[in-house]
Amino acid sequence: MQYGPFLFSEMVFLWSVWEQSHQNSGYFSYMGRIVCIDYGMKRCGIAATDPLQIIVSAVTTVSTPDLLSFFEEYLKQESVEKLVVGLPVHTDGTYTYLKQQIDDFCTSFSKKWAHIPIAFADEQFSSVQARQIILQSGVKKEKRKDKALVDKVSAVLILQRYLHHI
């Protein structure tokens, strides 16, 4: 494919040369991942951006009691600029029963990692949309029953909405 005077393969090569020459220069040091949590009673779906905050991907599903220990390990390996937490809101605008647990988690998270700001995003209908996406993507019936998959896709949707990707 032609892009101006360069072929796509030439652009990829030029990008990789530029990236290698700037790898330890601190050029990208201000960028970190944005991580999102679809918080649930039993488990939480986790999604994150790439370091340049362009692409959102599902990371994993973590049992809710293990969430802080997950971040303890994750933050040793990845640079995180912000945490986004999905807020469960009823259609009338009131918060669900999970709001207090989310607040407690965020307080504990902030005590350990005060340098990482926390933002909140409306997660209304994210699970419903996630199920529709999974169904439309042709996933087999047995895999569609996997609630962890729904949680991961929900986290991706919440983060994409937060970043205004959709």
CATH code, domain carrying 81 = 3.30.420.140
9 and 35: one domain?
no
Distance CA 166, CA 152 (A): 17
Number of domains in the chain: 2
Q: Are residues 9 and 36 in the same domain?
A: no
> Is 77 in the same domain as 157?
yes
Q: What range does the domain containing 11 cover?
A: 1-27
pLDDT tens, 1-27? 444 555 555 544 545 545 555 555 555
d(CA 70, CA 41) in angstroms, rounded, equals: 16
> Which residues does 133 contact at the CB level (< 8 Å), separation at least 6?
153, 157
Residue 133: strand pairing partners? none
Report the alpha-carbon distance of residue 133 to residue 139 in Å, rounded: 9
Q: What is the secondary structure of 98-110 as a DSSP string? A: THHHHHHHHHHHH
In tens, the pLDDT along 118-148 reads 999 988 888 888 888 877 888 777 776 778 8
pLDDT digits (tens, 9 = 90+) for 26-75: 555 557 999 999 999 999 999 999 999 999 999 999 999 999 999 999 99
Q: Collapsing DSSP states into helix, strand and coil, what is residue 12?
A: helix
